[in-house]
Structure 1
């Protein structure tokens, strides 16, 4: 299922008509509550702690690449191989539809990779994955949940802020230096900066 406008790999799902769209054709518009509908569906979330290089690992890698990310991910000054990390994976029946990979730091739990298939967005799955990560952090006596995103990823930024995260730092031009150039991201915004966010777990 490609982007409705250009048939490229989709990353997002339209709130109103449900069509899948790529990062170039997404538009952010104000909506009234009537048009923000969430069609619930049955899903389960499983914890997976071993490195994954089989079919599931390939699926995770493809989904992450579709979102414009890389298997080796730089976040909060550290580099991680996504497939080596523990994760929570959401399944609809037997199909994987979303995942959240994380790393445990001394005092914090860092979300390294997080993606939901576009056709399963706006179903509550993303929030459930964040909740599971928060629970794991509390169980392991972590004080914060950390995550970062690029400056073009306005949908992700809105999602995190809506779910209790706060911006703590902007690493200016970090992504420009990483790639040696700037390039277009979501809605044609030039990708330059890493935006770092935190969620204080004492606020849960």
Structure 2
């Protein structure tokens, strides 16, 4: 397998971005911390390996921070997620931002391990946030990974 290369998405990537978001999130709408994003319209980074798309990260710049709205590796344990996270930190630094942050859910144990091993820290837990998001996006399941009831959001951040 070749190395993972990350690049900024361009207009011709739109169909690929929408497909990945639909496969991972059920569509382009992502709700986090009470905010609804159309992730397909956000700036994006694409990871590629051996000429094929290996992952997608969408983000939003706000104040002193880069918020990762979505991050998806099309195949796990290939380095795409790590490469995307590093590239997002690079974008944040280019803009002179002080932190990178994201929201995940209480059931997402694999993501919590992934993020913490890469230096992000849990800085907040919002009980019931997923329940509230489910009212706006009913397709959010009630049971998540590992058959854990899906209720809460966890905020993780990396200080730059």
TM-score over 0.5 (shorter chain): yes
With 147-156 and 123-132 compared, the bigger mean Cα shift is at 123-132
Report the TM-score, using the length of structure 1 for normalisation.
Answer: 0.70
Kept in 2, the 8 Å contact 1:183–1:190? The answer is yes
Instruction: For structure 1, list consecutive stretches of 5 or more residues without a partner in the other structure.
Output: 1-39
* Residue of structure 2 aligned with 1:63, choices 17, 20, 23: 23
2:79 maps to 1:127: no
* Residue of structure 2 aligned with 1:99, choices 44, 56, 71: 56
In the TM superposition, residue 77 of structure 1 has moved relative to its aligned partner by 3.2
Q: 1:81/1:153 Cα in 2 relative to 1: closer, same or farther (>3 Å)?
A: same
Instruction: For structure 2, list consecutive stretches of 5 or more residues without a partner in the other structure.
Output: none
Report the TM-score, using the length of structure 2 for normalisation.
Answer: 0.88
Kept in 1, the 8 Å contact 2:120–2:158? The answer is yes
2 CA distance for matches of 1:139 and 1:77? 28
What RMSD, in angstroms, separates the aligned Cα atoms of the two structures?
A: 2.0
More strand per residue: 1 or 2? 2
SS at match of 2:59: strand
In the TM superposition, residue 61 of structure 1 has moved relative to its aligned partner by 2.3
Which protein is bigger by CA-based radius of gyration? 1
Kept in 2, the 8 Å contact 1:151–1:192? The answer is yes
* Residue of structure 1 aligned with 2:134, choices 159, 169, 179: 179
1 CA distance for matches of 2:151 and 2:121? 20
Which aligned pairs between 1:30-179 and structure 2 lie closer than 5 A?
A: 41-48=2-9, 50=11, 53-54=14-15, 56-65=16-25, 70-117=27-74, 120-179=75-134
Kept in 2, the 8 Å contact 1:51–1:84? The answer is no
Residue 10 of structure 1 is matched in structure 2 by none
More helix per residue: 1 or 2? 2
Provide, for residues 111-150 of structure 1, a one-character-per-residue CA deviation record: whole Å limited to 9, x for no partner.
Answer: 0000112xx3222221111111001101101110011101
